[in-house]
C-alpha cells in the first residue's frame, strides 16, 4: 500500500472527524438526560465542534481547490460541485445547531421522527450531488460516467469501497427489526466514513494498482 494523493487524505480526515462528532451527538441524545431535556448546551462541547468544523472546511477546501483551478469548462463546474458538496456535508453539525436554536431543541429535545426526517434529507442531498456529478460527466463527455467505486476490475475492492454504507444499511435493518437505537449512534459515523472513501481511494493505492489519472474525480 502506498500514498499517492496526500491532499485527498485531508478530505478523508474531515469526513471522518465530522462523522465522529455526529455519532457523539446521537449517543448523547439516546443515552443521557430525560425527555424534558434538550440537546446539550455545553459551551466547551460546542466550542470543540466549531473548531473541528472550521478545520474540516479548510481541509475540504485544501483538498479540492487546486483541482478546481486547474480545470476549465464543464470540468470546473463538476469539481466546484464536488467541493461544494463536501463543504456542505462537513458543516452538518452547524446546520443541526442552527435548527436547534430555531426550533427550540436546546430546551426540549426533538422527537425521533424529526431525526428520521433529518437523516432522509441528508441522504437525499448526498444522492442528488452524487447523481448530478455523474449526469454532468455523462452528458458533457458523451459517454457513461462510472461511479468512483466501480473504477476497478477487482470485485473485492469494489466491495471494500462501499463497505461502510453496506454495514450501515445492515445495522439499520437489524436494529429496526429489533426495536433498537444503535443504528442512530453508529450510522452517522459509517455514512461519513463512506463519504471519506472516495478521498481514500484517490489518496491510497494498493500494491499493483495504478496511480489515479490526473482528471479522475473524487465522486
The mean per-residue pLDDT over the stretch 102-125 comes to 83
Q: How confident is the model at residue 39 (pLDDT cuts 50, 70, 90)?
A: low
State the Cα–Cα distance between residues 161 and 197, nearest whole angstrom. 6
* Closest to 207 in 3D by CA, of 157, 158, 159: 157
Residue 37 pLDDT greater than 60, yes or no? no
State the Cα–Cα distance between residues 64 and 136, nearest whole angstrom. 18
State the Cα–Cα distance between residues 11 and 62, nearest whole angstrom. 8
Percent of the chain with pLDDT over 90: 32
The mean per-residue pLDDT over the stretch 153-165 comes to 84
Query: Which tens digits make up the pLDDT trace of 48-97?
Result: 999 999 999 999 999 999 888 988 888 888 889 889 999 999 999 998 88
State the Cα–Cα distance between residues 176 and 36, nearest whole angstrom. 25
The mean per-residue pLDDT over the stretch 147-151 comes to 72
Higher per-residue pLDDT: 36 or 151: 151
pLDDT of residue 59: 96
Amino acid at each position: 500500500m502506498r500514498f499517492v494523493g496526500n491532499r485527498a487524505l485531508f478530505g478523508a480526515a474531515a469526513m471522518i472527524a465530522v462523522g465522529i462528532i455526529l455519532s457523539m451527538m446521537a449517543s448523547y441524545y439516546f443515552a443521557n438526560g430525560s425527555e424534558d431535556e434538550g440537546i446539550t448546551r455545553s459551551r466547551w462541547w460546542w466550542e470543540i465542534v466549531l473548531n473541528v468544523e472550521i478545520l474540516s472546511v479548510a481541509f475540504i477546501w485544501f483538498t479540492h481547490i487546486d483541482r478546481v483551478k486547474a480545470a476549465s469548462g464543464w470540468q470546473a463546474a463538476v469539481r466546484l460541485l464536488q467541493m461544494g458538496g463536501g463543504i456542505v456535508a462537513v458543516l452538518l453539525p452547524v446546520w443541526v445547531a442552527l435548527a436547534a436554536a430555531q426550533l427550540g431543541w436546546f430546551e426540549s429535545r426533538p422527537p425521533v421522527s424529526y431525526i428520521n426526517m433529518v437523516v432522509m434529507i441528508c441522504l437525499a442531498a448526498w444522492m442528488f450531488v452524487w447523481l448530478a456529478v455523474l449526469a454532468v460527466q455523462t452528458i458533457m463527455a458523451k459517454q457513461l460516467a462510472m461511479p468512483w467505486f466501480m473504477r476497478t476490475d477487482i470485485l473485492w475492492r469494489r466491495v471494500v469501497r462501499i463497505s461502510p454504507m453496506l454495514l450501515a444499511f445492515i445495522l439499520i435493518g437489524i436494529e429496526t427489526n429489533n426495536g433498537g437505537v444503535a443504528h442512530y449512534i453508529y450510522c452517522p459515523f459509517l455514512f461519513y466514513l463512506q463519504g471519506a472513501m472516495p478521498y481514500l481511494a484517490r489518496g491510497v493505492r494498493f500494491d499493483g494498482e495504478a496511480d489515479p489519472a490526473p482528471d479522475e474525480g473524487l465522486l
